[in-house]
Structure 1
């Protein structure tokens, strides 16, 4: 069985390294920075007092790797749309896509593009961190649960996947109701991911106070109500179970906490945000989850999009400034009226970056362009050639300015480039340079 692991971060790196170490035929689809690190130094997994390094095949383009039988997704929920576009090019009629994302909507999103028979759902219980590109530190847990959406536990591919994990130290459980299992993990995620951010501390902080323990119960009870609307019945003792099972890992932080501290995007929209939106659809109140959702969003909020402008400066004769109206006035051939026709499940109106660059008089020695986010923490530097070939600036959503929570005031997307982190949200400035500019793209994929 040939495996393609998408990502070599805390999930993909952990699972993929163990598979490679066990002699499984596994390759990795990676972002350029992680690709360079793993290609040159290998992928290292450190766990307790043990450590090993593997040297699997890696690429930034899936077509440059052997065609897989199984594609394992070790990415964040918010990266899924572009990965769908990438793996769609190599999918065979019997390719298996095994998910490991948080939340409960990954399979639904995949089935909006691919036929349902491709999908096997998975869950991972783990705490790991990226020490540096290509180096993963494992701290706690490390087991997976997989299952067919139909509930059949005896399909050939389930048996094959179980045997695959049996070659590694990763325990693999087969679930008769994987959807219920994903909702059970959702109950943990919607509690401790936002609470660790809001408390600015580890899980123990939420466990050691009566007030936060009571809050935990309310969060889970609301989650149970929403799950029931989807036909998933969770046991009434689920709130107590969530607390009891967490005590064994009380000193860990959460992935949302780590992402927040690193200035990265979080999965709040796919956790508490998902609950809030669907609760509104079902007409049921979830006030505690809604409060957590809004507080986390406020903690990570960027400046308002009111009168937002996009500045272009650096090594060019005359700096340019565009607002939404100016971008909309560019010629029809420059416009991308619906970005979803290019990027799977993406929405918004944009303009091809090539047409913007054609308006500039760039210095002869200039060869790079750097894209800066509004908070100054994130930037990505591409060659001018890459920017011309792949760049699209999204400036409008449903005929309105792009909201902050959707990545406004402007977004850069680069379909076909093969680097998810080159998709810059909250874009406010583009800088022309004669060499690579400031680039803070993380190496982490999951």
Structure 2
């Protein structure tokens, strides 16, 4: 099975790299600086379990999707619709499309734009690009997907690479659980530029996070979604399992780039407004990150 990764940044390079390391056919489609380094030296995977240069095909062209049986869309939520435009001419009729993106509704947006099934994958991994072609892994690595015609094939393919994939009948709930975790940490990490392990013990932060979670749960419930498990415990656990990780929002703000905050706390804010649920803490975090973004000219809307 050939796998193509569109948007091969930290998340895409981790999952594509794990597949390539297991000698599966993979092509990474990413930014020029990463593609050039990967073509020259391989993808350097600096993980918790190994450090290795992994040979893998890489290109900046969406035509790399041609012939792929599995496509992992890993672009930023802000680039979802543009990704659909770029993918459309190159997708095989039988390709399995997975959205490995932050936010709740990217798979739905891709599906509407492409007019074909797109399946959401809930991603639990802490990674960053530490330099051109250099992936740094801080923890975890599992995926959650829903049941569909090719789900068993996806599970089997990733199993070869040592990547656990759970098939869940409640992907909507799992997506909301991930969204809540992102809402609890991403903005705070962006505002403070601190990793998760230093944020959680901060004075007053436990109460702030509890308020964020409560607001998110109220919106999810009003939207008819059941969030599985003990989400308060799951949020607390992130500070331990991903202690050294800064959020992708923090990296975007630090680099003067447009972040995904509109699709995280901003999504909860919009759904809350539509459903008549007040979300004041999410509103404040969203507004503060937008102010930080406004300092950079290329982050304006």
TM-score, structure 1 length as denominator? 0.63
Q: How many residues align?
A: 301
Partner of residue 199, structure 1: 192
Partner of residue 264, structure 1: 257
Tell me which moved more, 37-46 or 59-68: 59-68
Following superposition, the deviation at residue 101 of structure 1 comes to 0.5
Partner of residue 113, structure 2: 113
- CA displacement, residues 36-75 of structure 1 (integer Å, 9 cap, x when unaligned): 2222222221114622223323222233564211111122
Q: Does 1:168 align with 2:161?
A: yes
Aligned counterparts of 2:108 and 2:4: Cα–Cα separation in 1: 21
Asked whether the 8 Å contact 2:272–2:278 carries over to 1, the reply is yes
Asked whether the 8 Å contact 1:206–1:213 carries over to 2, the reply is no
Aligned counterparts of 2:218 and 2:125: Cα–Cα separation in 1: 26
Q: Does 1:2 align with 2:2?
A: yes
Asked whether the 8 Å contact 2:249–2:260 carries over to 1, the reply is yes
Partner of residue 230, structure 1: 223
Following superposition, the deviation at residue 245 of structure 1 comes to 4.6
Q: Does 1:146 align with 2:148?
A: no
Does the C-alpha gap of structure 1 residues 197 and 274 become closer, same or farther in structure 2, counting only changes over 3 Å?
A: same
Does the C-alpha gap of structure 1 residues 236 and 65 become closer, same or farther in structure 2, counting only changes over 3 Å?
A: closer
Q: Write the mapping of 1:187-336 to structure 2, written as runs, cut at 5 A.
A: 187-209=180-202, 211-234=204-227, 237-302=230-295
Does the C-alpha gap of structure 1 residues 298 and 89 become closer, same or farther in structure 2, counting only changes over 3 Å?
A: same
Aligned counterparts of 1:115 and 1:93: Cα–Cα separation in 2: 12
Does the C-alpha gap of structure 1 residues 227 and 55 become closer, same or farther in structure 2, counting only changes over 3 Å?
A: same
Partner of residue 127, structure 1: 126
- CA displacement, residues 238-283 of structure 1 (integer Å, 9 cap, x when unaligned): 2243224533333432221122222222111110111112211222
3-state SS in 2 of match to 1:88: helix
Does the C-alpha gap of structure 1 residues 70 and 209 become closer, same or farther in structure 2, counting only changes over 3 Å?
A: same
Aligned counterparts of 2:202 and 2:264: Cα–Cα separation in 1: 23
Does the C-alpha gap of structure 1 residues 273 and 86 become closer, same or farther in structure 2, counting only changes over 3 Å?
A: same
- CA displacement, residues 374-401 of structure 1 (integer Å, 9 cap, x when unaligned): 3xxx7xxxxxxxxxxxxxxxxxxxxxxx
Aligned counterparts of 2:65 and 2:246: Cα–Cα separation in 1: 35
Aligned counterparts of 1:23 and 1:158: Cα–Cα separation in 2: 21
3-state SS in 2 of match to 1:208: coil
Q: Write the mapping of 1:42-121 to structure 2, written as runs, cut at 5 A.
A: 42-48=42-48, 50-63=50-63, 66-116=66-116, 118-121=117-120
Does the C-alpha gap of structure 1 residues 219 and 42 become closer, same or farther in structure 2, counting only changes over 3 Å?
A: same
Does the C-alpha gap of structure 1 residues 8 and 244 become closer, same or farther in structure 2, counting only changes over 3 Å?
A: closer
Partner of residue 27, structure 1: 27
Aligned counterparts of 1:192 and 1:64: Cα–Cα separation in 2: 34
Aligned counterparts of 2:20 and 2:124: Cα–Cα separation in 1: 20
**Mind listing any 5+ residue stretches in structure 1 that lack a counterpart?**
148-152, 303-372, 379-403, 407-446
RMSD: 2.1
Asked whether the 8 Å contact 1:199–1:205 carries over to 2, the reply is no
Does the C-alpha gap of structure 1 residues 97 and 49 become closer, same or farther in structure 2, counting only changes over 3 Å?
A: closer
Aligned counterparts of 1:226 and 1:173: Cα–Cα separation in 2: 25
3-state SS in 1 of match to 2:128: strand
Asked whether the 8 Å contact 2:127–2:245 carries over to 1, the reply is no
Aligned counterparts of 1:220 and 1:68: Cα–Cα separation in 2: 39
Aligned counterparts of 1:14 and 1:241: Cα–Cα separation in 2: 22
**Mind listing any 5+ residue stretches in structure 2 that lack a counterpart?**
none
Q: Write the mapping of 1:386-397 to structure 2, written as runs, cut at 5 A.
A: none
Aligned counterparts of 2:155 and 2:217: Cα–Cα separation in 1: 30
Partner of residue 172, structure 2: 179
Aligned counterparts of 1:9 and 1:261: Cα–Cα separation in 2: 16
Larger radius of gyration: 1
Aligned counterparts of 2:186 and 2:122: Cα–Cα separation in 1: 16
Aligned counterparts of 1:21 and 1:68: Cα–Cα separation in 2: 18
Partner of residue 365, structure 1: none
Does the C-alpha gap of structure 1 residues 202 and 33 become closer, same or farther in structure 2, counting only changes over 3 Å?
A: closer
Asked whether the 8 Å contact 2:104–2:176 carries over to 1, the reply is yes
TM-score, structure 2 length as denominator? 0.92
